[in-house]
Each structure stands twice: as C-alpha cells, then as structure tokens.
Amino acid sequence: MSSRQPTFQGVALRPLRRRDAKVLQRLLVQDRAWLSPWEATTPGIRYPVNARSLVSNLLHQVREGTGAAFVVEYEGAVAGQLNVANILHGSVSSGTIGYWIAKEFAGQGIMPKAVALAIDYLFDEVGLHRVEIDIRPENAASLRIVEKLGLRSEGLKERFIHIDGGWRDHLVFAITSEERKGSMLGRLDNTQAQ
C-alpha cells in the first residue's frame, strides 16, 4: 500500500496490523449475532472467534500477493474491516471485496465510503481492472452499498460460498476501471444527491 492512507470524511482505510487482533476480537465477539449470518465458514468445522488466526491468515494472503487487508477506521476508532480476496494480476486483474462493520457504527454511511476508497485504491495503485462484491440476496444492508456505488449486477451464483454453516446463493456485483468514470467517491456523492 502506498504511504498515502485513503481517507474521506472521517473514514480511513489503513493496512491491517497484527496488533489489531485485540480490538477485532472484542468487536467480533460482541457482535456475534449481527455478523454471523454473513460470515464465511468452513464446511464441517465449528470454531470460536479467533481474531489472531484471522489476522494471521489475512496477512499471509497479503504477503503472497493474493489479498489486501484493511481496518476501517471512523474518526480514529476501529469500526470494522475490509478485505480483498482472490487478487489476480495479468490477464484477469481482478479482486473480490468483503467487509463488515461493528453494529454500533452501522447506518452512518461508513462502509460505502470505505468501499469507494478501496476500489479507487485497487484501480489506481494496485492496477486491477475489475472489482467484484458477492452478496447474499437476503443481505439488504449490503445490497444498499453496491446500489449507492452503482456497481453492475452480474447475476446469481447458486450455493456459491459457505456462510453461517451452509452453501449460500450470492448475487454478484462488479465494476471495471472503464466503467468508473471519475472517482468512486464522486459516484457516491452523485448517488446520494439523487
């Protein structure tokens, strides 16, 4: 990540650090009921929240170049997380964004700004061509994020990801760099003004 830390109206994306595990553990435990319907799980395995191992896995992907991992801060406080998985360069040049915010920070338009910052970063600094977001059809709040950012719908992938203990359908949304036209933050301003 470049030395410039993407920030907009109090929302900052900063690279995940090993020492974030402590605050993330607290948020992930206190918001279990809020987050678990949307969290990826491993078939046949149930395990308690373990932010240290989560952070280790994410940082491993960052080192391998297959992922990017951020903490989402709001006015200096850790509010949630945004990760980019399955980063491919070359002829695909694509990555998939996932995110969550602690319940106490929900509904303030924080994550749409964080996603806008992330997409601009992925296009402008990482050089990706396409960014994808996969959302369960039941996740109305997350569907609002892609709507606010004007991502294109690519259809339904049936039983695509193991979430909350089962294989769940996901709606796929994407944007390519040609479609962006200006910055993603600009798009956010435009859709919110409508």
Q: Is the dihedral of CA 154, 159, 160, 162 positive or negative?
A: positive
CB of 32: closest distance to ligand COA in angstroms? Answer: 11
Residues 28, 72: Cα–Cα separation, whole Å: 14
Strand ranges across the sheet with 166-176: 7-8, 11-15, 68-74, 77-88, 94-101, 130-135, 166-176, 152-163
Residue 2 or 73 with smaller CB distance to ligand COA: 73
Least Cβ distance, residue 41 to ligand COA (angstroms) = 13
Contact region for ligand COA (CB under 6 A) — 50-58, 61-69, 138-146, 182-190?
Answer: 138-146
User: Do 147 and 109 contact (CB within 8 A), yes or no?
Assistant: no
- Contacts with ligand COA in 91-130 (CB under 6 A)? 99-101, 106-112
Which span (15-23, 121-129, 142-150, 178-186) binds ligand COA, by CB under 6 A?
142-150
Query: Which residues contact residue 59 at a Cβ distance below 8 angstroms, ignoring those fewer than 6 apart?
Result: 16, 18, 69
Q: How far is the CB of 84 from ligand COA (least distance, A)?
A: 13
Is 34 or 160 the residue whose CB approaches ligand COA more closely?
34
> Please, which residues have CB within 8 angstroms of residue 65's CB and are 6 or more apart in sequence?
87, 89
What are the DSSP calls for 118-136, one per residue? HHHHIIIII--SEEEEEE-
Q: What is the smallest separation between the CB atom of 121 and ligand COA, expressed in angstroms?
A: 18
Least CB distance from residue 91 to ligand COA, whole Å? 27
Say what the alpha-carbon torsion angle 153, 157, 161, 162 is, to the nearest 10 degrees: 130
9 to 68, contacts with ligand COA by CB under 6 A? 34-35, 38
Count of residues that bind ligand COA according to CB under 6 A? 20
Nearest to ligand COA of 77, 127 (CB atom): 77
Positions touching ligand COA (CB under 6 A) are 34-35, 38, 99-101, 106-112, 135, 139-142, 144-145
